[in-house]
Amino acid sequence: MTAIRAHWLNLSLIALLAGLAALSLIAGRVWVPFEVWFGAGDDPRWLIIAELRLPRTLLGIAIGFALGMCGAALQGYTRNPLADPGVLGVAALAALGAVLTMFIGASAAAIWVLPAGAMIGAIGGVLILMLLAGATSSILTFILAGAILNTVASAGVALALSLAPNPWALNEIVNWLMGSLADRSTDDLQMAVPFIAVGCMLLAGTARALDALTMGETGARSLGINLGMTRLLLALGVGLATGAGVAATGVIGFVGLVTPHLMRPLTGSRPGAILIPSALAGAALVLGADIMVRIIPSPTEVKLGVAMAALGGPFFLALLINLRRRVA
């Protein structure tokens, strides 16, 4: 992929993202016309934009950007087209870490406790997967590993739910786990974005190593790649970005699985070249899905995590069937 083509692809995705961001500020149960934007203080609907939709839009962009880049980085490192923080159990372990802080009441002690629990869970999940990746790159192995991590995390969450001290805590945890950008504030934005930014910068720093790994670990070492440092950067990057995202919005799956596959035909097979386009496409996908759940006529707003599962599930199944045909 030439530098000029990559430049135009990124500009096109940024333009798409800007259009979706503008629509996100307008669309919802109450549609806010464009002219209200220039009447700050004169129209009560301005508060809807400033207090509700602007933080929601910016957080959606940040979460989608993080998940898209994490998926692309994991697929590049493991050389596995099914790798994704949600599919491989990383997001589930992040959710478990966050739920445990809620369950023991530690999250009420300080604002940083819940995201810290989520990031510790996510980093632990990535490290387990990195150990498996060092031994084999089998697609079946990673699917099984992801299933095991998801099962363990789900069992832990179910145990916490069954032992929840009161129904209000139970309801709060269940609603949070389904994943949503609704009712998010600037506090959530300030909590998540710094960690997401650091995580994405660490992942961007692995681009050269991901390209070298297409020749295998031996070939990468011959090019001077420090694989130990690459694993560390990948674990910290995915852990920080995914953990902070889960802490702010709950579990939103399949973004990191879908966007690299959508971008790969446009960028070529070089893993390092797909990181930024996948991140931008992930931001656009999350923002578009969030707009969709807001305008769907229903008594209550559909959770974003549920909507993404409805979109990503069939995509994952189709991808798995296609891979099976290739192997056969």
Q: Residue 64 has what pLDDT?
A: 95
136 lies in some domain? yes
26 lies in some domain? no
Q: Residue 133 has what pLDDT?
A: 54
Q: Residue 306 has what pLDDT?
A: 85
19 lies in some domain? no
35 lies in some domain? no
306 lies in some domain? yes
Q: Residue 70 has what pLDDT?
A: 93
Q: Residue 23 has what pLDDT?
A: 92
The CATH code of the domain that includes 93 is: 1.10.3470.10
How many independent structural domains does the chain possess? 1
Q: Residue 2 has what pLDDT?
A: 58
Q: Residue 71 has what pLDDT?
A: 92
33 lies in some domain? no
Three state DSSP letters for the chain: CCHHHHHHHHHHHHHHHHHHHHHHHHCCCCCCCHHHHHCCCCCCCHHHHHHHHHHHHHHHHHHHHHHHHHHHHHHHHHCCCCCCCCCCCHHHHHHHHHHHHHHCCHHHCCCCHHHHHHHHHHHHHHHHHHHHHHHCCCHHHHHHHHHHHHHHHHHHHHHHHHCCCCHHHHHHHHHHHCCCCCCCCHHHHHHHHHHHHHHHHHHHCCHHHHHHHHHHHHHHHHCCCCHHHHHHHHHHHHHHHHHHHHHHHCCCCCHHHHHHHHHHHHHCCCHHHHHHHHHHHHHHHHHHHHHHHHHCCCCCCCCHHHHHHHHHHHHHHHHHHHHHHHHC
243 lies in some domain? yes
Q: Residue 153 has what pLDDT?
A: 87
Verdict on whether the full-model pTM lies above 0.85: yes
As averages over each run of 10 residues, the pLDDT of the chain (328 residues) reads: 73 94 87 70 74 91 95 86 80 87 77 84 81 58 76 86 75 81 87 93 92 84 86 87 89 89 85 92 94 86 86 78 68
Residue-number span of the structural domain to which 173 is assigned: 60-327
Q: Residue 204 has what pLDDT?
A: 93
13 lies in some domain? no
